[in-house]
């Protein structure tokens, strides 16, 4: 938990992500589901706490885990937290593929604009994408503390 003097999320460096192509082969994640109302999460904090407790109990935490969201419905999203090993009792999944990444900075209300910018950027590169993931790099408290709210969009290509 973050306090006034602490941060719970490591400071994010956008350089290794922005404009890059990454390839994952069987990257391991714990998967859960967030309830949303028109893409506004209603229980994100509770889901993250539940996932964090299970991951810590299993000793599967990473120093700087990738946390993804798949906004696959206006009523909910699948969320993924990278882990170092399987977590008993959790839904485990792997993600593989090639992804084009673009870093955006600003309030979450800009997501729609970022998605359009991502589509235009990929189009200018002659690319189309299938799945689009959102990598929220810090919690809201740490984003405020750092003064930057970075979100990475990962578009699966190929």
Q: Tens of pLDDT along 138-150?
A: 988 899 999 999 9
Give me 156's structure tokens.
Answer: 């699966």
Asked whether the CA dihedral 151, 95, 86, 76 is positive or negative, the reply is: positive
Residues 6+ apart with CB under 8 A from 34: 41, 42, 43, 44, 47, 69, 76, 77, 78, 79
Residue in this structure with the two tokens 């200018």, named with its chain if needed: 124
The 10s digit of each residue's pLDDT in 84-101 is: 999 999 999 999 999 999
Residue 1 reports pLDDT greater than 60:
no
Query: Which H or E run includes 101?
Result: strand 91-105
Q: Is the pLDDT of residue 51 over 80?
A: yes
74 vs 52: CA distance, rounded Å: 25
């Amino acid at each position: 938990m973050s306090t006034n003097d602490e941060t719970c999320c490591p400071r994010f460096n956008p350089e290794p992500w922005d404009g890059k192509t990454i390839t994952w082969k069987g990257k391991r994640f714990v998967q859960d589901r967030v309830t949303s109302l028109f893409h506004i999460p209603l229980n994100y904090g509770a889901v993250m706490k539940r996932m964090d407790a299970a991951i810590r109990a299993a000793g599967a935490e990473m120093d700087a885990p990738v946390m993804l969201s798949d906004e696959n419905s206006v009523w909910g999203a699948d969320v993924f937290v990278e882990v170092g090993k399987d977590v008993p009792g959790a839904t485990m999944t792997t993600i593989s593929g090639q992804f084009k990444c673009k870093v955006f900075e600003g309030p979450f209300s800009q997501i729609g604009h970022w998605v359009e910018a991502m589509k235009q950027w990929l189009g200018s590169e002659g690319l189309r994408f299938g799945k689009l993931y959102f990598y929220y790099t810090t919690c809201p408290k740490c984003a405020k503390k750092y003064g930057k709210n970075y979100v990475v969009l990962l578009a699966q290509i190929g």
